[in-house]
Amino acid sequence: MIKRVVFVAGVTAGYLFGTPSGRRQLDKMKVWAVDVWHDPRVQEYVQEYEAQAAAFAKKQGAAVWEKAVDSAKSAVSSSTTKYPTDDVSPTVVEPLVDADDANPGQR
C-alpha cells in the first residue's frame, strides 16, 4: 500500500514540476492558496490561535523556568553528596604503557 502512495506522489510531482500544463496547474494552486490564506475568515482563526499559542507559551514558559531552576538546584546539592571533598590526597593513576613500551623498536 505504501509503495502505491509513494508511486502516485512521484507521478504527481513529476507531472506538476515536469510538464508545462503541470506547472500551470501548480501556479493555479499557488494563487488559490494565497487567496485562501488572505481570506478574512481564515485570518480570524489564525489570530485566535496565535493568541492561544502566545498565552500557552507564557504560562508554560514560567513553569519550564521553575522546573529548570529546581533541577539546577537539586543537581548542585546532590553533586556535593556524590563526590565528597574531604579526601585530601587524590589517587594518582599511572599510565599502563609509556612511550617507550608503545614503540619498542625506536629510540
What is the Cα gyration radius of the chain?
32
- pLDDT, tens digit (0-9, with 9 covering 90-100), for 11-55: 999 999 999 999 999 999 999 999 999 999 999 999 999 999 998
pLDDT at position 7 is 97
Q: Does the global pTM surpass 0.75?
A: no
Distance of CA 54 to CAs 35, 45, 46, 64, 73, Å? 26, 14, 12, 15, 28
Mean pLDDT of the residues in the chain:
81
- The domain ranges of the chain are 1-60
CA-CA distance, 92 to 100, in Å (whole number)? Answer: 21
- 95 pLDDT exceeds 70? no
pLDDT at 30: 95
In angstroms, what CA-CA distances link 52 with 19, 62, 66, 69?
43, 16, 22, 26
